[in-house]
Amino acid sequence: MPMAAADFSWHFTPGNTFRFETGALGRLTVVPGGELWLPTGRVVASDPFISLGAGEAEPFTAEVAPGRYPVEIALVTITQPDEAAPPDGQEPAEPHERVAAARLVIKDTPTVSYELALQPGQDASQLSDDQFFGYGVDAGAGCFYDVACDESFPDCQGDEGPLWDAFDQADWSNGPHLITAPDTGHNLVAFTSGWGDGVYPTWVGRDADGAITCFVTDFFVVPSEAGA
């Protein structure tokens, strides 16, 4: 069986707190990212600096009705424990933030189950314990967009264009950043990816009737025991 999903409703409850193994305190907030336009309802999650406009976008097999859907991130503010004094001559560590998860909300009903978001040809039954399918991050960022929007951002590659400009403000902002192509109206929502580069799974949430409620990318910032 593949890796089990976390309780993402806990991730997206503002004010929830947890401790890292180091003793640092994490406090969760939820930051809205605007509405994502899905003209086909076929969702892509990827590192936009690597994959966007490369013609390699693979949408998930789980599809939704075309429309506009809100995106939000679960943001963790991390502070060091009060009792941990810094070494002599050093300033106390400032709180810093990490994106724990990003969620594309499809339906406002309670999510009762999660399954791995799969691309064509992927079979979750072939995975062993703690394995998962996910997308690779090499530029410290992730995003959601519709597969039809892939070629609408030719100037969003590398260290130039609106995608770079959005992240580069305020010393590499966590986001979320809503970026719209002026010619087509296609858009994407991008955000930093937890601790940085790696491979991260996206999950499909479903309600009691089996309808899709959300897509959630987990960046493995919140410890698995948190909220259990």
pLDDT tens for each residue of 156-197:
665 667 777 777 775 567 889 999 988 899 999 999 999 999
Mean pLDDT of 136-147: 93
* Closest by Cα among 226, 210, 209, 204 to 105: 204
How many C-beta neighbours within 10 Å does residue 142 have? 27
Long-range contacts of 94-98 (CB under 8 A, 24+ apart): 97/174, 98/174, 98/192, 98/194, 98/195, 98/219, 98/221
Looking at residue 85, what is its pLDDT?
54
Would the pLDDT of 135 be above 70?
yes
Looking at residue 9, what is its pLDDT?
94
Q: Alpha-carbon distance 191 to 166, whole Å?
A: 10
Would the pLDDT of 1 be above 70?
no
Mean pLDDT of 39-57: 87
Q: Is 126 helix (H, G, I), strand (E, B) or coil?
A: helix
In angstroms, how far is the first alpha carbon of the chain from the final one? Answer: 20
What the block records as the tokens of 123 is 């079979």
Q: What is the pTM of this model?
A: 0.90
Looking at residue 87, what is its pLDDT?
60
* Range with top average pLDDT, 6-15, 74-83, 92-101: 6-15
Mean pLDDT of 109-114: 96
Would the pLDDT of 110 be above 70?
yes
- Percent of the chain whose pLDDT exceeds 90: 64
Higher pLDDT, 81 or 143: 143
Looking at residue 99, what is its pLDDT?
97
Higher pLDDT, 69 or 156: 69
Would the pLDDT of 83 be above 80?
no
Q: Alpha-carbon distance 142 to 224, whole Å?
A: 21
> At 102, is the pLDDT very low, low, confident or very high (cuts 50, 70, 90)?
very high
Looking at residue 157, what is its pLDDT?
61
Higher pLDDT, 93 or 187: 187
Would the pLDDT of 37 be above 80?
yes
Would the pLDDT of 208 be above 50?
yes
Mean pLDDT of 100-125: 95
Q: Alpha-carbon distance 96 to 83, whole Å?
A: 18
Would the pLDDT of 101 be above 90?
yes
Whether residue 136 contacts residue 199, with contact meaning beta carbons closer than 8 Å, is answered with: yes
